[in-house]
Amino acid sequence: MSKIVVWVVFALLYAYPLFEGISNLIALPPFYAANGIGNAVPWWLLIIGVVAPVLLYLAALWIGRGRELFARTLILAVGLATTNALVLSAVSWAGAVQPALK
Amino acid sequence: MARASQPPPEDDDDALRWAGDELRGGVDPLTRNRVAEVPASGVDTVMDATPAPLGNLARTAATVGFAVVYLAIVVGWILSVQITGSTATDVFSQVAWQFGEFVAIISGALWYLAVLTLTPDSRTAVRVGWFALGVGVLVPWPILLVVAS
């Protein structure tokens, strides 16, 4: 029971970076196109933003399978922190590789 | 103000002895825990501790070395969140962004502690592998990109 509570709570915590990633994927290409740099969309960074939360959540569940509750929770927390670090890295890379707006 | 009369100072060791210990040839707790005096000759001193296996040395060195690396990662993320910012104006997005920055700061410490606590019996290569993976994933790019530019 407590196992499921941990899963659900962390699913919600992982959901926000996923939501951010999806909204970036939807909003950034039109923004770039409107500013004349439509061919410079950093697709790989946008894809990381969407894939990382899902992949790390599933990986944390898989690594934690069969372990006690503390270990499962710790692994999910590590995955969450890693997800957020990756999202911030992707955002900073996107800013670094963005050409000047026309 | 005079204090209540205190019991006279007595030998604290008395509390740890039973009367008659010596007569029964028993060893009281106090003397049992005392380090036996090393004989002057030193010949019959016996080492009963087995030396640590050689593999533990590499394992300990890796664990300590990665501690330094992960400390640097945490410092890197502390510096990184100073220069990243959210353009969001609503409270929920700002709180979520702040939370994201906070967990990014502690990501290095969490990863290190997780590897430390979850691989106590794993082979050294497994532990080092997890440490190395974390270093690769948790590179504090925001501050590095600013420094590099």
Q: What residues make up the domain containing B73?
A: 56-148
Q: Tell me if B40 is assigned to some domain.
A: no
**pLDDT by residue for chain A (102 residues), tens digit each?**
889 999 999 999 999 999 999 999 999 999 999 998 888 899 999 999 999 999 999 999 999 999 999 999 999 999 999 999 999 999 999 989 988 876
Q: Tell me if B79 is assigned to some domain.
A: yes
Predicted confidence at residue A100, as pLDDT, reads 82
- B103 and A81 within 8 Å at the Cβ level: the answer is yes
B96 in reach of chain A (CB within 8 A): yes
To 10 degrees, what angle do helices B91-118 and A69-97 make? 120
Supply the DSSP symbol for B120.
S
Chain B residue with minimum CA distance to A97: B145
Q: Tell me if B7 is assigned to some domain.
A: no
- A96 and B149 within 8 Å at the Cβ level: the answer is yes
Predicted confidence at residue B9, as pLDDT, reads 58
Q: Is the CA virtual torsion A38, A49, A25, B78 positive or negative?
A: negative
Tokens 């005392």, residue located: B34
In chain B, residues with a C-beta closer than 8 Å to the C-beta of A97 are none
Q: Tell me if B126 is assigned to some domain.
A: yes
User: Cα–chain-centroid distance for residue B91?
Assistant: 38
Tens digit of each residue's pLDDT (9 = 90 or more) over B34-64? 555 555 555 555 556 665 566 689 899 999 9
Interface of A with B in 70-99 (CB under 8 A): 71, 74-75, 77-78, 80-82, 84-89, 91-93, 95-96
Q: Tell me if B109 is assigned to some domain.
A: yes
B118 in reach of chain A (CB within 8 A): yes
Record the pTM: 0.76
pLDDT band at B27 (very low <50, low <70, confident <90, very high): low
Provide the number of structural domains found in chain B: 1
Tell me how far CA of residue B63 lies from CA of A98, B113, B126, B132, in angstroms: 39, 11, 12, 11
List chain A domain ranges: 2-97
Q: Tell me if B38 is assigned to some domain.
A: no
Q: Tell me if B81 is assigned to some domain.
A: yes
- Of the candidates A78, A84, A85, the beta carbon closest to that of B114 is on A78
B126 in reach of chain A (CB within 8 A): no
